[in-house]
Chain A
Amino acid sequence: MAEYKILITGPMGAGKSTAISAVSEIGVVSTDVKNSDLAQSQKATTTVAMDYGQISLGNGDQLRIYGTPGQERFDFMWSILSRGALGLIILLDSTRPQPLADLNKFLDGFAPLIKETGAVIGVSNKPGGPSIDAYYEVLAARDMMLPLFEVDVRKKEDVLLMVDALLSVLEIR
């Protein structure tokens, strides 16, 4: 039985904890505490260390999914959680003030992991935010080709779609 580790990241409020809860077959290990930074996000709680969930892949293999905190002051957790990860899912929320800048921030923050492994991007796209093309333009400007999906992270099938895409990307590499 093999065990694989992937990471989910993205800005505060993008739905990282929700995505892991949507697919995990075990009770999610979460480190949510009361959020005092209401300027960043109106959420009642925020993840300060990590989320952890598991999915069985059908052939006996296990996929371990770790979620990172979204705020940059927790970037020390980004490098800790990146160790041994096979790939990265970046979640974005189009209703945040600057979702394209968010994408650049996480591409920069996880550049070593993305370079060594692979990444896919999931955008929770609501009216009023940038077009999907705008996210592709950010990637093109960096000479990057990454799978990008519009997702609702509350839906198990949407999260599994990103996981499948990531595993496919990793198989090709």
Chain B
Amino acid sequence: MDANNSKAIAAICQAALDKLHTDNTGILAALIASADGFNLAAIQSDISDERLAAMTSAMHALGEQIVKEVDLQKCHNVMIEAAVGKVLMLNIPGSKDGLIMTAVANEAMVFGSLLFACRQCATQIGEKLAASRL
């Protein structure tokens, strides 16, 4: 991805993440990472975007390998349920560079809502990237 494309992709991702955050008070943090673990856009939070982006890429790659191992074709998302919250990692459909989104939610937000909100956000990002041929 060249520098201009990278800026345009980051702008589309940032706008979508900001909307996701405004619409869902239970989402504490969210970011979009490249397949190789670089942070492209993030909601402001106390969490280290750089580390979480690298972890997102590693976790998603492991998810892909597990799916391949058990012959389930393609990994769509990885869900983690924790003591006081949840983490969802999902791929951005149609993104040429295999972008991945991670969202961290508090314990009040149920998984269904998190999944619905994040899928909608990821689909919108994918459509905007496709429309801009990015």
Residues of A bordering B, CB below 8 Å: 29-37, 46, 48-50, 69, 71, 73-74, 76-77
A76 surroundings in chain B (CB, below 8 A)? 51, 54-55, 58
User: What 5 additional pairs, Cβ within 8 angstroms, besides A31-B65, A77-B58?
Assistant: A33-B98, A34-B36, A37-B38, A48-B37, A69-B58
> Is B81 engaged at the interface, CB distance under 8 Å to the other chain?
no
Q: Which residues of B contact A69 (CB under 8 A)?
A: 58
Interface residues of B, count at CB 8 A = 21
Report which of A34, A37, A74 forms a contact with B58, defined as CB distance below 8 A. A74
Instruction: Indicate if the CB atoms of B35 and A31 lie closer than 8 Å.
Output: no
Give A49's nearest chain B residue, CB to CB.
B58
**Binary contact track B13-38/A, C-beta < 8 Å → 1, others 0:** 00000000000000000000011111
How far is B9's CA from A36's CA once the two chains are assembled, in angstroms?
14
| CB within 8 Å for A37 and B36 given contacts A29-B65, A31-B61, A31-B62 | yes
Question: Contacts of A77 on B, CB cut-off 8 Å?
Answer: 58
Q: Residue on B with the closest CB to A47?
A: B61
- CA distance in complex: A1, B16 (Å): 53
Q: Which residues of A contact B62 (CB under 8 A)?
A: 31, 49-50
B61 and A49: CB pair below 8 A? yes
**Minimum distance in angstroms from B40 CB to a CB of chain A:** 10
Does A36 lie within 8 Å of B97, measured CB to CB?
yes
Q: A49 to chain B: which residues have CB within 8 Å?
A: 57-59, 61-62, 65
Most buried by B among A46, A49, A77: A49
When distances are taken between beta carbons in the complex, the residues of chain A under 8 Å from B37 are 48, 71, 73-74
Point out the residues of chain A lying under 8 angstroms from B61, CB to CB.
31-33, 48-49
Q: Which residues of A contact B51 (CB under 8 A)?
A: 73, 76
Shortest CB-to-CB span from B39 to chain A, Å, is 10
B1 close to chain A: CB less than 8 A: yes
Say whether, besides A48-B57, A48-B58, A76-B51, A36 and B38 are in contact (CB < 8 Å).
yes
Rounded to whole angstroms, the CA-CA distance of A46 and B59 in the bound complex is 14
B127 within 8 A of A: no
Complex interface residues of chain B between 60 and 100 (CB less than 8 A to chain A) = 61-62, 64-65, 69, 97-98
CB distance from B50 to the nearest CB of A (A): 6
Which residue of A has the minimal Cβ distance to B54? A73
